[in-house]
């Protein structure tokens, strides 16, 4: 009877005693790099199925390469750089490791003074770097109909600010897609699913570089 009682207690103890966790379980969770894509309709995936936008396709590309990173979609169609600045704090929550900044296209399309765009992007980069968040800044080009003077004031904003804050630069978000009607939606501006694939493929090395910048800053 006594032996049976001991056996019963031991069996209950084995059931209730918490199973040991793998030694690297916590580090595996911490190793996932959290990225926020802060942008406008190009980031949001305007006109596309949920699975075909820039963010889900970038996430799929990273996953396919075995890269432990998550990409949150903080794209809002119609946003200017100033709009992105206004919602920066809640769009980029605590715990974010890196941000892909894609803003300025709507500023350009609306003919907003380039200095206003520059000031807003400057403030975004200042606040993100103050928070020790790695940044990949995506550039934009001016439409030809806006004239050479506008382009000369607008386009250097991105390279200037990337150099000022020491952040990564992808010079033109729509590289390989702009003006190619086979890669855009009927509006001639937003990428179609094939266009998104071109953008992701071309940008992926820079995103990998962004992630590499984050990892060395992590505590061991």
Domain CATH code at residue 191 = 3.40.50.1110
Mean pLDDT of 193-212: 98
Q: Provide the sign of the torsion angle of the four alpha carbons 171, 104, 199, 147, taken in this order.
A: negative
Mean pLDDT of 61-76: 98
Asked whether residue 16 is domain-assigned, the answer is: no
Q: Please give the pLDDT value at position 14.
A: 35
Mean pLDDT of 195-220: 88
Average pLDDT score over the chain = 89
Please, is 150 exposed, middle or buried when counting C-beta atoms within 10 Å of its C-beta (0-12, 13-18, 19+)?
middle
* Residues 46/194, Cβ–Cβ less than 8 Å: no
Listed range (93-102, 153-162, 168-177, 207-216) with the worst mean pLDDT:
207-216
* Residues 123/86, Cβ–Cβ less than 8 Å: no
Tens-place pLDDT, residues 39-57:
999 999 999 999 999 999 9
Q: Please give the pLDDT value at position 182.
A: 98
Q: Could you give the C-alpha distances from 204 to 24, 46, 61, 138, 199, in angstroms and in order?
A: 28, 20, 8, 12, 8
Range of the domain at 174: 27-217
Enumerate the active-site residues.
41, 187, 190
Cβ neighbors of 158 (< 8 A, separation 6 or more) are 104, 121, 137, 138, 139, 140, 169, 171
Residue 189 has pLDDT above 50, yes or no: yes
Asked whether residue 139 is domain-assigned, the answer is: yes
Q: How many domains does the chain have?
A: 1
Calpha distance 121→168 (Å, rounded): 14
Asked whether residue 4 is domain-assigned, the answer is: no
Asked whether residue 113 is domain-assigned, the answer is: yes
Asked whether residue 13 is domain-assigned, the answer is: no
Tens-place pLDDT, residues 79-108:
999 999 999 999 999 999 999 999 999 999
Asked whether residue 2 is domain-assigned, the answer is: no
Asked whether residue 204 is domain-assigned, the answer is: yes
């Amino acid at each position: 009877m006594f032996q049976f009682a001991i056996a019963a207690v031991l069996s209950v103890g084995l059931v209730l005693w918490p199973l040991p966790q793998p030694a690297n379980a916590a580090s595996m969770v911490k190793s996932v790099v959290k990225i926020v894509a802060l942008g406008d309709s190009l980031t949001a995936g305007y006109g596309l199925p949920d699975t075909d936008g820039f963010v889900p396709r970038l996430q799929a590309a990273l996953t396919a390469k075995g890269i432990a990173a998550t990409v949150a979609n903080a794209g809002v169609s119609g946003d200017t750089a100033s709009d992105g600045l206004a919602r920066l704090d809640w769009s980029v929550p605590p715990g974010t490791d890196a941000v892909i900044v894609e803003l300025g296209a709507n500023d350009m399309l609306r003919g907003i003074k380039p200095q206003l765009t520059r000031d807003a992007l400057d403030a975004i980069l200042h606040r993100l770097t103050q928070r020790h968040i790695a940044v990949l800044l995506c550039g934009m080009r001016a439409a030809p109909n806006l004239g050479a003077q506008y382009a000369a004031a607008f386009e250097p904003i991105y390279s200037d600010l990337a150099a000022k804050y020491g952040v990564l630069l992808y010079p033109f978000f729509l590289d390989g897609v702009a003006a190619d009607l086979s890669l855009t939606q009927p509006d001639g501006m937003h990428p179609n699913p094939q266009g998104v694939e071109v953008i992701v493929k071309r940008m992926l090395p820079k995103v990998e570089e962004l992630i590499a910048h984050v990892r060395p800053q992590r505590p061991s």
